[in-house]
Structure 1
Amino acid sequence: MTDHGSGAAAGADVVGGAGGVGGAGSEVGGGARYEVWALDGIPEVGPGDDIAKLIAGASPSPGLLDGDVLLVTSKIVSKAEGRVIAAADREEAIDAETVRVVARRGTLRIVENRQGLIMAAAGVDASNTPAGTVLLLPEDPDGSARRIRAGLREALGVDVGVIVTDTFGRPWRSGLTDVAIGAAGVRVLDDLRGVSDSHGNELNVTVIATADELAAAGDLVKGKATGRPVAVVRGLGHVVAGDEEPGARALVRNAADDMFRLGTSEAVREAMTARRTVREFTDDPVDPGAVRRAVAVAVTAPAPHHTTPWRFVLLETEAARLRLLDAMRDAWIADLRADGKSEESIAKRVRRGDVLRNAPYLIVPCLVMDGAHHYGDPRRDAAEREMFVVAAGAAVQNLLVALAGERLGSAWVSSTMFCREVVRDALGLPAGWDPMGAIAVGRPAAPPKERAVRQAGAFIEVR
């Protein structure tokens, strides 16, 4: 057993071999090496207690050295900060701590809490707290870590890093692990981008979550029911830094980079509500692959008689777009003149159609009546066509939602429906393809305005 002085917890020390955090540490036996052990002598924590003083005053002495990293379980921080409530208030507390619901399965909620963490029940926990109570996470875990670090510097004269830890489940992986939710004086991320590996390959995306790896190492010796809420890592002084380090908040992925931000049903609802009509686009090119993925979603729409009554004409070249839009403009102007409109009125109306002309990509959805039944009865034949039109609309809605999921804006404009022969001629389409408007696609030039709230009850009749 390695001797850590009087601060070692019996049977609770681990020596990390080569390949410890960052591949560095104190040199022992020619390899990179670190040590981690849990502290004994930390008393039960109550509201108002000073965590740093409890650690400094532990018996046996913690024996801390400059460059050590302390891993402090968030529960004792919550107790010291008075973040204890009656268990009967748990659901209300989860609501209060929740910023948004990520996924819900029955009574289980995975949420983003006010600290920006994605976790079950907003971190409201009934373990390691007296019966009838539950614990909330610290209000500001990074601030808590800074206070503990400063307190240990004052009490013991040591420069240590501090990580506040909590237990998380993880998507795609069974089991729980400890992660860093607060940090002070620790380089929480080790950015290796631009560094070459042992084969000379440049690393392009490798950023190591050092603080999380340390938290997990500490959990191996602290345990969940041993009464040892603090662990020490020694031999990784290179991860200890100054007070200017950003803290564990830097580990939270921002929304724009989060590809898995929502659960399945929540993602569907979010995508549906995120679909907005966008009329102004940037000049950025549209990825044809993204459009094809959206079309693959579009063609899953329901349709009558097991048919597939949709075709999507993708105008990916400027020449094709201008050929269509110029032909449509000329036909529209001719119609407006035939209606007796003034040249000024005509020019104003044509300008309103610029949403298609200014888009970097156009899609022309077409209705194809292959497989439709013919009854010889005008009423039934009209209803048959309506079924196919409804199916085309469902496919277009799927398409618009899927485009929003690809971060593409869109505007569905009806204009091609008023000059179908012109469109078919300009695009060389078969006679049986009926254009159902045109969809402008591109990167939105500005965030959409807030959507007016619509109460579902206003559109529901129950019988």
Structure 2
Amino acid sequence: MSATAPSYRVWALPGIPELHEGDDVAKLIAAAAFTDGLPGLADGDVLVVTSKILSKAEGRILRAEDREAAIDAETVRLVARRGTLRVVENRLGLVMAAAGVDASNTEAGTVLLLPEDPDASARRIREALRTGLGVDVGVVITDTAGRPWRKGVTDFAIGAAGVQVANDLRGDVDAHGNPLVATVVATVDELAAAGDLVKGKAGGLPVAVVRGLPHVVGDACGAGEEGARWLVRPAVDDMFRLGTSEAVREAVSLRRTVREFTDDPVDPGAVRRAVAAAVTAPAPHHTTPWRFVLLETEAARVELLDAMRDAWIADLRADGRSEESIARRVRRGDVLRKAPYLAVPCLVMDGSHDYPDARRSAAEREMFVVAAGAAVQNFLVTLAGERLGSAWVSSTMFCRDVVRRVLDLPEGWDPMGAVAIGRPAVPPAERAARGADAFVVVR
């Protein structure tokens, strides 16, 4: 090997005993590091420390019967659930199975919680070693987790101090001169995995030393000096926040009636994806009883809404309403005008069965209307998943002839309301929880 070839060494520290609340972790690490036959600690070394010994020293231990309650207390958001297994975001912002509450490497009948503040724990160890030994080392606190789309687990950093958390290469070029536009290397996660290769999961070796990478150690060594918390991806940048079934429930919960929209344009592709979801709804007789008319130009929207307004005013005058009452009602119906995009779902009865009596004919139509409602629900939920607000307004159902004429639709197309679509101008108000029991009858 060339004398200038990059390299590093990593070794585990034997002799660290079982820890208990109040133990001095830094003191125990220092004693283990200078055991006969080991090279001790030097400036530029990185200590890779399993979080469980800190949890024990910091008193983060509970009786096992409290495990589910402990998971609840540590959880801020459910990501996915499969049977009794929960993958959640915990109070540290980490997405982990069971919020990181662990029953391994602890006495029977107890569970371990993650350290209260792993970054602060790393800073305390680093400062204690600098004060006691006069060495400048980086400290990485680790735990174990699985990864989406990959079998197996690996160690990753949950806390760090005095070490480069991430190496931001954006703006550099590769060996071929290509610009790097998205490469941010999670240095502390790589150090965590390197340390775990010698620590292992069951060997009683909770601390490793990495030597030969002094460029990643120091008080000002790169992105994320505030600690490993820097690596937690903000929600706005997270494309994979939920498991599949949880994502469906989240989209359903996000489905609100939105009445105020921004002027931002609506992506027509997002609306077409919502239509594609809509037409998966169940329907009678293997039919496809839905059509969606998309009004993507302002001219088309204004023409339709003006004609509908005129028809509505005529109806209200025929009902004997005062001009003041009519003006008030028309203003309340302006939600469709505030949206930058409109869709008009239509019901078609192609494939319906003819019956000689009114009762069965009415039931036949009701089946098709239910199918149309299911399609519109799919449509609205998918729009919510696209982060688009919507309002399903029934007004086209009261002037179907007008809508058909303005939009040049076939006689057999029945407009089933109109959907206003756009970016919500304000966050939706909190919605009171509705338990299922109030809507269920069991026989």
TM normalised by structure 2 equals 0.95
Q: Which consecutive unaligned segments of at least 5 residues does structure 1 have?
A: 1-16, 18-27
1:405-447 deviation per Cα after TM superposition (whole angstroms, max 9, x unaligned) = 0010100011111111111111111111100000011111111
Paired AA for residue 299 in structure 1: V
CA RMSD across the alignment: 1.6
Q: Which consecutive unaligned segments of at least 5 residues does structure 2 have?
A: none
Verify: 1:233 aligned to 2:214, yes or no: no
Distance, in Å, in 2 between the alignment partners of 1:274 and 1:307 is 30
> What residue is the counterpart of 2:28 in the other structure?
54
* Alignment match of 1:205 (pick from 182, 185, 189): 182
1:155-177 deviation per Cα after TM superposition (whole angstroms, max 9, x unaligned) = 11122111100011111000110
* Alignment match of 1:348 (pick from 328, 334, 339): 328
Verify: 1:401 aligned to 2:381, yes or no: yes
Runs of 4+ with >6 A deviation: none
1:295-337 deviation per Cα after TM superposition (whole angstroms, max 9, x unaligned) = 1111111111111100011111111111111111122222222
Answer yes or no: is the 8 Å Cα contact 1:280–1:445 preserved in 2: yes
Paired AA for residue 132 in structure 1: G
> What residue is the counterpart of 1:23 in the other structure?
none
SS at match of 2:312: helix
SS at match of 2:158: strand
> What residue is the counterpart of 2:303 in the other structure?
323
* Alignment match of 1:95 (pick from 72, 76, 79): 72
Distance, in Å, in 2 between the alignment partners of 1:31 and 1:144 is 34
Answer yes or no: is the 8 Å Cα contact 2:106–2:112 preserved in 1: yes
Verify: 1:277 aligned to 2:266, yes or no: no
1:237-283 deviation per Cα after TM superposition (whole angstroms, max 9, x unaligned) = 22223278221111111222222212222222111111111111111
Deviation, structure 1 residue 62:
5.7
Distance, in Å, in 2 between the alignment partners of 1:193 and 1:422 is 57
> What residue is the counterpart of 1:42 in the other structure?
16
Query: Larger deviation: 346-355 or 418-427?
Result: 346-355
Paired AA for residue 307 in structure 2: A
> What residue is the counterpart of 1:291 in the other structure?
271
Deviation, structure 1 residue 43:
2.5
> What residue is the counterpart of 2:346 in the other structure?
366
> What residue is the counterpart of 1:33 in the other structure?
7
* Alignment match of 1:109 (pick from 81, 86, 91): 86
Answer yes or no: is the 8 Å Cα contact 2:136–2:218 preserved in 1: no
Answer yes or no: is the 8 Å Cα contact 1:45–1:80 preserved in 2: yes
Percent of pairs with identical residues: 78
1:15-71 deviation per Cα after TM superposition (whole angstroms, max 9, x unaligned) = xx9xxxxxxxxxx62322222221223222221111111111222466222222111
* Alignment match of 2:219 (pick from 233, 236, 242): 242
Answer yes or no: is the 8 Å Cα contact 1:55–1:62 preserved in 2: no
1:50-105 deviation per Cα after TM superposition (whole angstroms, max 9, x unaligned) = 11111112224662222221110011111111112222332232222222322222
Distance, in Å, in 2 between the alignment partners of 1:453 and 1:92 is 22
1:200-221 deviation per Cα after TM superposition (whole angstroms, max 9, x unaligned) = 2222222211111110111111
Verify: 1:185 aligned to 2:162, yes or no: yes
SS at match of 1:327: helix
Paired AA for residue 107 in structure 2: P
Distance, in Å, in 2 between the alignment partners of 1:443 and 1:176 is 39
Deviation, structure 1 residue 339:
2.4
Answer yes or no: is the 8 Å Cα contact 1:286–1:361 preserved in 2: yes
Question: In 2 relative to 1, CA 68–354 (structure 1 residues): closer, same or farther, beyond 3 Å?
Answer: same
Paired AA for residue 281 in structure 1: F
Distance, in Å, in 1 between the alignment partners of 2:130 and 2:399 is 78
Matches within 5 A, 1:1-16: none
Deviation, structure 1 residue 132:
2.6
Distance, in Å, in 2 between the alignment partners of 1:197 and 1:342 is 74
> What residue is the counterpart of 1:333 in the other structure?
313
> What residue is the counterpart of 1:124 in the other structure?
101
Paired AA for residue 43 in structure 1: P
Distance, in Å, in 1 between the alignment partners of 2:181 and 2:421 is 31
- What is the number of equivalent residue pairs in this alignment? 437
